[in-house]
Structure 1
Amino acid sequence: MTKQLQLKLPPLGPNLVGATGGSGTRVVTRILRAGGMYVGTNLNRAEDAMYFQSYLDDWINPFISRTCFSDSREIEREMIHNLEAPLSKYLEDFQAEEPQPWGWKNGRSMYLFPFFHHLFPRMKFLHIIRDGRDMAYSKNQNQLRKHGSLFLSSTEQEQWSSPVQSIALWSRINFLVAEYGEKNLPGQYLRIRFEDLCTAPVATIFQIFEFFGLQGNAEAITKDEVSPPDSIGRWRNEDMPTLELLHQVGGTALRKFGYGITAEFQQQDNRENKLSFYLPSNSVPELLEFPERLQNIHSQLKKSRDWLALIRTNLNSSSGG
């Protein structure tokens, strides 16, 4: 760490919640608040911590493009300096007489996951996943609009429809977040599916409370806060050609996160796009089709050693399928 925060932070935090926009994290914020976590006061209708909104707008694209979701030391000094003001504002209203868990929910925090972990080694991260096929047809495509060009090649942006671009982004960013959390934050990373919160809310709330050290009446919270939306499974009503491409592009991530591939899409799943969970930048997806160019990509983008290892692993896995 080249620079430390000048702020003195309270214990038992920060605890962060990240997700693709529209994943149902609003109810998660309410659950955390009901369990005794301080989640901030300046929140929008989606219960996002708005003090960090401009910070995420300013830093996600530079961070991803310059670090490839890995080592942030190259730009962390300025990132830390710019974080101090919104973090200080967020903590102004935190007046706990006894130690109290604290943190914030802003879905896009997951794009800066390695940076936050580097800055806060003891942080906890709750990763909310919702079926990428439903997410592809969500009206909330703000993340695709703001950050899609970092994860999609120019060809993909020109030729793919919005739902296909959406599941490509969903697949790639959530796969990276999951891989990073599983590898680097044992015991500090928890992944919850929104669908499980809807079908088994009491058990899922208990799991969240245990992870963060919270307490509350899970049954009462379920009654007050959990209401499964009609949009669950909406992808099944869409046209078959687009759904086939969704499964081709998103199959690896769908399987990883426990979303079943039904029989009619098995062929597309078997022919899955090799690039379904890579992190591209402009023309990089096309280059990734050629393993012999990996070293050139490394030189061009200054990818970390871990990032190269992940690419090679995924290429070998795809070639074997």
Structure 2
Amino acid sequence: MSSAPVAVGGVGGSGTRVIAHILEYCGFFIGSDLPETMDTVWYAALFGRRNVLLDDNDSLQDLVQLFFRQMAEPAPLTPSELDRLNALKDYPRHQHTPDKISEWLDGFINHCTTGTPAERWGWKVPYTHVLIDRLMAWHPTLKYVHISRNGLDMAYSANQNQLGKWGPIFLNREVDIGPRDSLKYWCAVQRRVASAKTRHPDRIFLLSFDRLVEDPVTWISQLIDFLGVHLDAEDKDTLASWINPPRSVDRHKAHDISVLDPEDVAYAQRCNDCILT
């Protein structure tokens, strides 16, 4: 029987990659086709499409449960399951080519046949938060780690993939790929995840990357406790040594933030002033 799985997400560029490395260090299986970003591409292949939100609820739940089951205890797929996965190769994607999606799905299908059970497992895909309410409902022990960075800095990030892909849905309109809508999207995500946290207070860990950089030992210890993993002080010090301040900290100070919505700026500043736990 596997332990509680752990998912990691956040707005792109928030620092989720280092948390994926920590999961691996702690013995969590997060996939075997990991790119440099440490994204679990199998999750991306199954759920990284806008029309996932249009899936029939029962059909989506079946696909989610298939993913859960195969990550924990891989087993050969039934013909209908194989047909369902292969059909995903034809779905339009915002960012990746059909060949790339086909490659990822083939990797997952191969894992279902050749993989071994994982006592600890999870995944890291930044936009996991898009489905977080349903994922939490469909796996009663699933834990979620949401990484956030200063919203004002994120407004000026070069990584605006989520804004382009999910922004029109979260903001209910077409978006401009720029700082103003980037911050609006960041605020929308923060509010959604904060709301989910109130419904699942013990299963969602909100981690400020800025706080992690300032005090890695303290926040690594809290994260490890949340994961339910035992590490000695030396291991925690090793993980803490991986946390380095990026050069992009406070990058918003080099910009005229008057182009941003003042209400969004105020909300981001309130978030940044809070210690998220």
Which bracket does the TM-score occupy, shorter chain normalised? 0.7 to 0.9
Distance 2:128 2:257 in 1: 34
Of structures 1 and 2, the one scoring higher in RCO (CA 8 A, sep 6+) is 2
34-43 vs 101-110, greater mean Cα deviation = 34-43
Return the match for 1:209 from 224, 227, 240: 224
AA partner of residue 192 (structure 1): L
Is contact 1:48-1:106 (8 Å) kept?
Answer: yes
Return the match for 1:35 from 22, 26, 29: 26
AA partner of residue 24 (structure 2): R
Corresponding residue for residue 58 of structure 2:
77
Q: Does 2:133 match 1:114?
A: yes
Is contact 1:16-1:104 (8 Å) kept?
Answer: yes
AA partner of residue 83 (structure 1): V
Distance 2:240 2:116 in 1: 26
Distance 1:259 1:237 in 2: 23
Is contact 1:171-1:253 (8 Å) kept?
Answer: yes
AA partner of residue 199 (structure 2): N
Return the match for 2:5 from 14, 22, 27: 14
Q: 1:51 to 1:210 in 2, by over 3 A?
A: same
AA partner of residue 45 (structure 2): S
Distance 1:240 1:20 in 2: 20
Q: What is the CA distance between 1:199 and its match in structure 2?
A: 1.1
| Secondary structure of 2:180 counterpart | helix
Q: Does 2:147 match 1:128?
A: yes
Identical aligned residues as a percent: 29
Deviation sequence 1:172-222 (CA, Å, 0-9, x none):
1121111112x2112111111001111111111110110011133111222
Return the match for 1:189 from 204, 209, 214: 204
Q: What is the CA distance between 1:84 and its match in structure 2?
A: 4.9
Structure 2 stretches lacking a partner, 5+ long: 75-114
| Secondary structure of 1:54 counterpart | helix
Return the match for 1:219 from 220, 234, 237: 237
1:1-321 matched pairs, under 5 angstroms: 10-58=1-49, 60-63=50-53, 75-84=56-65, 86-87=67-68, 90-91=71-72, 92=74, 93-96=115-118, 100-154=119-173, 157=175, 162-181=178-197, 183-216=198-231, 217-223=235-241, 225-242=242-259, 245-258=260-273
Q: 1:214 to 1:247 in 2, by over 3 A?
A: farther
Distance 1:40 1:258 in 2: 35
User: What is the TM-score when the length of structure 2 is the normalising length?
Assistant: 0.75
AA partner of residue 114 (structure 1): D
Is contact 2:160-2:177 (8 Å) kept?
Answer: no
| Secondary structure of 1:22 counterpart | coil
Distance 1:227 1:15 in 2: 23
Q: What is the CA distance between 1:85 and its match in structure 2?
A: 5.1
User: Which structure: larger Rg?
Assistant: 1
Q: What is the CA distance between 1:119 and its match in structure 2?
A: 0.4
Q: Aligned residues, how many?
A: 231
Q: 1:237 to 1:86 in 2, by over 3 A?
A: same
Deviation sequence 1:201-247 (CA, Å, 0-9, x none):
11111101100111331112222x222110011011012432xx244
Is contact 1:31-1:205 (8 Å) kept?
Answer: no
Distance 1:132 1:61 in 2: 27
What CA RMSD, in Å, does the superposition of the two structures yield over aligned residues?
A: 2.4
User: What is the TM-score when the length of structure 1 is the normalising length?
Assistant: 0.66
Structure 1 stretches lacking a partner, 5+ long: 1-9, 67-73, 261-321
